[in-house]
Amino acid sequence: MAYLGTLLSAMLATVGVAFAIAALGYLIGGIEIKGVSLGTAGVLLVALLYGILTNFVPSFTVGGKEIELMSDAIKAQYSTISNIGTAMFVTAVGLIAGPKFFRTFNKKSMAYIVMGVVIILTAAAVGIVIILLSGVDASLLVGIMTGALTSTPGLSAAKEVSQNADGLVAGYGIAYLYGVLGVVLFVQIIPKLLRVDMAAEREHFRAANAITLKPIARRLTQLEPFGFFPFFLAIGLGYIIGAIKIPGINFSLGASGGTLVAGLIIGHFGHIGPLNCTIQKETLNFFRELGLVLFLIGAGVPGGVNFVSNVKVSYFLYGVILTTVPMLVGFLLAKYVFKLSIFNNLGSITGGMTSTPALGALISTAGTDEVSSAYAATYPIALVMVVLASKLMILFF
């Protein structure tokens, strides 16, 4: 029995659990119902369920050996997994979009900036209405809003001015589940409801966004064959950029915003002096998917823990509203005012909703990672807006 306890303890170490969650998540995510599947977001669902389980069974004893499933130390380990995953995913997105991003940034790109502003302002307006009508604590509601928008930077910014940090985090955990799954399902269901011919749309989209990239006209030094140097360099540079704070408003891009910007810059130039910083597309796709999985596991397990201990039906419904309304407003704005293609429309929504998992689902649905450009164009302004909105709502309400 003692040996069995030791074996179980090793199997249930955080790393072992993370891989088990990933494997089961992919099994569930691969199930299709009328052409709609969770895809990689299946990993989030399993992670949340595991987090919920640990509320009821935080530990057990085998052969006199106590085996912990959840503790403050284990939560910290999941936070580290989430941070690593976010850095990998967002950096890969920036590096993929970088070679074309700045070359396509023109007057038409203003649509993406407006989309980011409108989506977040809509969420903030809806949140304020809920506070005024229901009397719910502003910190709790802001937590629900940042969870509905899956915005960790918004949550972090709100913590700086909140007098109710526990309520803030609880609200985030309550709304996070629908905040992720709602947008993931939205980007898959909308093309089916509109009966979009995905193959034809994909061909038209690629033709409309085709850009000939000029090769670098000099010999560059390749430090290693896999692209690890530029990838890790982008992450390191991104953390430096993300840590820079604007005086007065105490605003920073954070790790996710900083790594996105760094990825875009390095992806755009493709070299630093004589050093080659280009990376094979297949390698970036691998980094992107692995990062997404780690992010979903690291965020999902603690999210499941918070969900059970703080959930109320009314709070969950507020989260549903704060995810759905801004998303629909953004979709209608992009479709009827800016007349964006369905891929650019949905790509911009994933950026405006700051939804990392939804971008992964959209790439799979669209069959092209070119949709990352719309995400990358909308995400930074949405990030700035949600950080500002979160702070101001707590300060004034």
> What are 50-93's pLDDT values in tens digits?
888 888 877 777 666 777 778 888 888 888 888 888 888 888 87
Distances (CA, A) of 165 to 75, 170, 243, 338: 17, 8, 22, 39
Out of 193-197, 219-223, 243-247, least confident range = 243-247
Q: What is this structure's pTM?
A: 0.71
3-state secondary structure of 272: strand
Q: Residue range 163-176: average pLDDT?
A: 77
Q: What is the per-residue pLDDT across 364-385, written as a single tens digit (0 to 9) for each? A: 888 887 788 888 888 878 877 8
Across the strands, what pairs with 271? 276
> Under the phi-then-psi rule, with left for phi > 0, alpha for psi from -120 to 50, and beta for the rest, what region is 354?
left
Tens-place pLDDT, residues 185-211: 898 888 888 888 888 888 887 777 676
Between the alpha carbon of residue 131 and those of residues 60, 127, 231, 339, the distances in Å are 41, 6, 43, 34
Which distant-in-sequence residues (6+ apart) come within 8 Å of 107 by Cβ? none
Cα 364 from Cα 367, distance rounded (Å): 5
CA dihedral 172, 173, 174, 177 (to 10 degrees): 110
Residue type at position 294: L
> For residues 148 and 146, what is the distance between their CA atoms, to the nearest angstrom?
5
